[in-house]
Amino acid sequence: MTSLTAPRRTAAADTGSARTGRRPLSRKHREWIAAALFLAPDCIGLLIFVGIPMVLSIVLGFFQVSGFGSYTWIGLGNYRRMFSDPLFWSSLRITGIYVVVLVPLLFVISLGLGLLIKQKLPGIGVYRTALFMPYVISLVVVGLLGKFLLDDQVGAVNRAMEAVGLSGRSWLGDPSLALVSLIAVTTWVMMGYYMIIFLAGLQEIPQEYYEAAKLDGAGPWTTFRNVTWPLLRPTSFFVLLMSTVAAITGGLDLVYVLTQGGPANSTSLAIFYIYQQAFVFGEYGYAAAMGSFLVLIMVVLSAVIFALTRGGRFDDGE
Amino acid sequence: MLQHGNDAEPPRPPRRRSVLAAAAGAATALAAPALLTGCGAAGSGGGTLKFWNFYGPEHGPDPAVNRQSDWFTGIVAKWNATHRAKIELVYTPPQIYQNGSKLPTAFAAGEGPDIFLLSPGDFLRYYNGGVLADLTPHMDKAVIADYGTSLASRTVDGKVYALPMEVEPLAMFYDVGAWEKAGLSEGDIPTTWDEMLDRGDKLRSNTRAGLIFETGPGYYQNFTWYPWMWQGGGDVLDKQGDVSFDSKATRQALQLWSDAVRHGIAPRTLPAAGDVIGAFQGGNVGMWQQGIWNVASFKAAAPNFRYGVFKLPVPPGGRYVTSLGGWSFCANAKGRNPEAAAEFCGWALGTMEDDCIDRMVDWCIGAKSDIAPRTSALERGAAKGGYDSAVMKTFKDDIFPGGRPEPRYPPVVYKAISDAIQGTMLGGDGVAGAASRAAQSMAAYTKSYKGASLV
């Protein structure tokens, strides 16, 4: 059947091209066009919703914007203001602590959970679902839950502490604890997502390697160090990069609901401060300048992560 | 049929390229109107004016919310029945309207609503942005006198740019049951700061905060803190608009809140996530500095709960003052039809017609529990029995008369004050340093400030 239809199609194509005087597209060109068509919606979407706003935001950083349609060119004025704004530097410092604590914590907990739920245990699906569940809950709801759990007087956390003879703390009202509480709630929300990514990575590792390691007499730690860890490199890179980006640019919802940046600016992450300048104070130009600077920091940090992990590739001779 | 079929060209299956082309064409045809509609919406908008608010139309289990929504839908329906320019209410939940980005984003995009509600804290930003229409031509002259000082923070160069629909004084609410349980009587109602801290200390327990001041940073916290500073004779700016924040009165007000927290009398966070009625009912509150609007909330959600109110206590040698909040109607000077929008504001709240005065009375004693900002409406509301209950009588006769309208400071000034309050109350900063830093920050800003008078 194939031998009958194929020449017929070619003949039709030949007739067509003879009629139009054009050569038929090669397979490579046809594939290229198909790929372009499939990619086009994504590219157009990215251009419209990410590319153009990003360029506009960078441009906006050179203007003083009233928030009511008035734009005044001030060159580097917003950037000069940014460099002399102690609250911006304070927010960057808080973001730095947040990233440095949250990213490794998320990494370790998610990997540990990934290893645990990879085990073939009865009812493992229930555990996987339970651990992933916080990720699908609205962050506003999570924030409110956190507020009730961490309440000074009647919160479950303080109640539990008092039950074991410890005195309760003001988790969200004490500047020395509020950021810790924010990190804890964020970890609880995000760990399920990265756990699933680690689980996917772990399931990609061929079982034969584990069997070979077992035959060689390797214990759990040696197996993890010599088999799991190196073969998880692409997944680890992905988790590291994504959680770092999420930590720098995310957190706004939870800060907004849990602390409003307080107490005494102790949870005012850079992203919250930028939000506040733009949408509470109407300083859109200044916020755009700070946003551009934050993107620059993120690009540099991503490049460092790429360089240190070689992009999660295996092609390094190992 | 067979013959016919033989004559006709056999149908050809659609080719992949034509399918793709057709799909692309269809997608373009579907997307184009949507995109063009989106682009064309700016400024075109049709003839109906949009009135953004956080009351209605909205219906739920809370009867107070429903009454407030009915008031809004009622006045818009009445306007629409008698005027050519039609108005449509657009509801936004209070949390999003008051603290969110919806309203500022809409104005930044040139899509601000034609009519909207505005608080004094936001007045200058919107006025300086040129989006507030002058409402004076649409008001009866006598109304300006009828409003009295309620218009001060909404007026620039003698022109009125926002019409208040309510006045909301702050007072101290207390749990009568907890009060009695602590061995306190009505005679123990505090009149000085020291007495207030002492009562708070007596009322507190493991699960009950003795005395609550607002803890979250924001315009509202500043609004609740101002009276403590004013009572000592202090102010943020003097009458000339120069910074006067770094004063003894400021430092003692900052110290009061700091001491209350440091001694464990006031909590660092609000109980019940800030749900006032829930916290009182749950027995988690002794005293709480709150506004008159909670009277309606108690009536709706906890009618049998025993609570009382009293005037904010004063420092030694001080004079009683409280903050007067409240929202107002504004018209967008850059909207679809600023003239009609301004006319609506004037018609709704700014004439001496009986209907207009009754409208304000209905809002302040029917839909809500507020002080009417106009003398005529306050008197009529009192005559109708709106202030006969013990709590409302206290608000009208004792608490409101010493009130001062919420100031209209711009964001930089607000933020400097907020940082001083937060730093001293919760961050352990010294009051002298905090007051001085805030004053310097404000001074640097006011030197280059251009816009309507800050005071």
- CATH number of the domain enclosing A147: 1.10.3720.10
Cβ pair B165, B327 in contact under 8 A: yes
Amino acid letter for position B201: D
Q: For residue A136, what are the domain limits?
A: 91-312
Q: What does each C-alpha distance from A241 to A18, A300, A311, B139 come to in angstroms?
A: 54, 12, 10, 60
Domain assignment present for residue A18? The answer is: no
Domain assignment present for residue B15? The answer is: no
Tens digits of residue pLDDT in A17-76: 445 566 788 999 999 999 999 999 999 999 999 999 999 999 999 999 988 888 999 999
What pLDDT score does A310 carry? 82
Our count of domains for chain B comes to 2
CA-nearest residue of chain B to A262?
Answer: B217
For residues B330 and B384, state if they share a domain: yes
Domain assignment present for residue A279? The answer is: yes
Whether B215 and A263 lie within 8 Å, measured CB to CB:
yes
CB nearest A264 (choices: B282, B284, B427)? B427
Whether A265 and B267 lie within 8 Å, measured CB to CB:
no
| Distance of residue A260 Cα from the nearest chain B Cα, in angstroms | 7
What pLDDT score does A275 carry? 94
- Long-range contacts of residues A34-39, Cβ cutoff 8 Å, at least 24 apart: A37/B20, A37/B24
Domain assignment present for residue B4? The answer is: no
CATH of the domain at B245: 3.40.190.10
| Distance of residue B305 Cα from the nearest chain A Cα, in angstroms | 20
What pLDDT score does B120 carry? 87
Domain assignment present for residue A194? The answer is: yes
For residues B303 and B338, state if they share a domain: no
CA-nearest residue of chain B to A266?
Answer: B427
What pLDDT score does B15 carry? 52
Q: How many CA atoms lie within 13 A of A240 on its CB side?
A: 19
Query: DSSP code of A167?
Result: P
- Interface mutation vs chain A, best among B123, B126, B268, B424, most A CBs within 10 Å: B268
Instruction: Count residue pairs from A and B with Cβ separation < 8 A.
Output: 115
For residues B345 and B363, state if they share a domain: yes
Whether B269 and A70 lie within 8 Å, measured CB to CB:
no
For residues B424 and B440, state if they share a domain: yes
Cβ pair A197, A239 in contact under 8 A: yes
- Which residues on B lie below 8 Å from A263 (Cβ)? 215, 217, 268, 422, 425-427
- Which residues on B lie below 8 Å from A37 (Cβ)? 20, 24
- Which residues on B lie below 8 Å from A278 (Cβ)? 101
Query: DSSP code of A116?
Result: H
| Distance of residue B189 Cα from the nearest chain A Cα, in angstroms | 25
A291 has a pLDDT exceeding 80: yes
Residue A314's pLDDT band (boundaries 50, 70, 90)? confident
- Residues A257, A146: Cα–Cα separation, whole Å: 9
Domain assignment present for residue A84? The answer is: no
* Ramachandran quadrant class, B58 (left: phi over 0; alpha: psi -120 to 50; beta: rest): beta
- Residues B290, B212: Cα–Cα separation, whole Å: 9
Strand-pair category, B322-325 with B403-405? parallel
Domain assignment present for residue B134? The answer is: yes
Query: Considering B405, B420, B435, which residue would you say is the last residue of a domain?
Result: B405
What pLDDT score does A154 carry? 84
CB nearest B271 (choices: A68, A151, A265)? A151
Q: Which residues does chain B have with pLDDT short of 50?
A: 1-14, 16-17, 19-45
Residue tagged 């061995």 (tokens): B183
Burial of B116 (0-12, 13-18, 19+ CB in 10 A): buried
Kindly give the residue spans of alpha helices, DSSP state H, lying in B240-374.
248-262, 276-281, 293-301, 338-349, 354-361
Domain assignment present for residue A143? The answer is: yes
Whether B126 and A68 lie within 8 Å, measured CB to CB:
yes
Our count of domains for chain A comes to 1
What pLDDT score does A316 carry? 53
Q: Tell me how far the alpha carbon of residue B394 is from its chain's centroid.
A: 22
Whether A152 and B129 lie within 8 Å, measured CB to CB:
no
For residues B290 and B197, state if they share a domain: yes
Kindly give the residue spans of alpha helices, DSSP state H, lying in B101-236.
102-108, 120-128, 141-147, 176-181, 193-203, 219-231
Helix%, strand%, coil% for chain A, nearest 5: 75, 0, 25
What 3-state DSSP class applies to B291? strand
Beta bridge partners of B78: none
Beta bridge partners of A143: none
Cβ pair B25, B65 in contact under 8 A: no
Name the nearest CA neighbour of B298 among B272, B324, B322, B279.
B279
- Which residues on B lie below 8 Å from A29 (Cβ)? none
What pLDDT score does A157 carry? 95
Cβ pair A223, A210 in contact under 8 A: yes
The mean pLDDT value of chain A amounts to 90
Domain assignment present for residue B340? The answer is: yes
Domain assignment present for residue A85? The answer is: no
For residues B60 and B194, state if they share a domain: no
Whether A66 and B269 lie within 8 Å, measured CB to CB:
no
- Residue B309 has φ and ψ, to the nearest 5°, of -130, 150
Q: What does each C-alpha distance from B228 to A259, A305, B96, B394, B398 come to in angstroms?
A: 24, 52, 29, 20, 17
For every residue of A271-287, DSSP letters joined together read HHHHHIIIIIS--HHHH
- Residues B255, B250: Cα–Cα separation, whole Å: 8
Is residue A77 within 8 angstroms of chain B, CB to CB? Answer: no
A165 vs B28 pLDDT, higher one: A165
Q: For residue B178, what are the domain limits?
A: 170-323+409-448
For residues B200 and B309, state if they share a domain: yes
A2 has a pLDDT exceeding 90: no
Amino acid letter for position B64: A
A11 has a pLDDT exceeding 50: no
Domain assignment present for residue A73? The answer is: no
A9 vs B327 pLDDT, higher one: B327
Structure token pair of residue B200: 């708070």
* pTM, entire model: 0.85
Tens digits of residue pLDDT in A198-246: 999 999 999 999 999 999 999 999 999 999 999 999 999 999 999 999 9
For residues B281 and B428, state if they share a domain: yes
Asked if the interface predicted TM-score (ipTM) of this complex is over 0.90, the answer is: no
Is residue A81 within 8 angstroms of chain B, CB to CB? Answer: no
For residues B364 and B242, state if they share a domain: no
Domain assignment present for residue A139? The answer is: yes
For residues B183 and B141, state if they share a domain: no
Cβ pair B136, B292 in contact under 8 A: no
What pLDDT score does A21 carry? 61
Tens digits of residue pLDDT in B181-195: 999 999 999 999 999
Strand-pair category, B285-291 with B168-175? antiparallel
CB nearest A265 (choices: B207, B216, B419)? B419
- Which residues on A lie below 8 Å from B218 (Cβ)? 260
For residues B182 and B273, state if they share a domain: yes
Cis peptide bond upstream of A175, omega within 30: no
What pLDDT score does A237 carry? 94
For residues B117 and B249, state if they share a domain: no
252-271 of B, contacting A, C-beta below 8 A: 267-269, 271
Whether A264 and B125 lie within 8 Å, measured CB to CB:
no
| Distance of residue A37 Cα from the nearest chain B Cα, in angstroms | 9
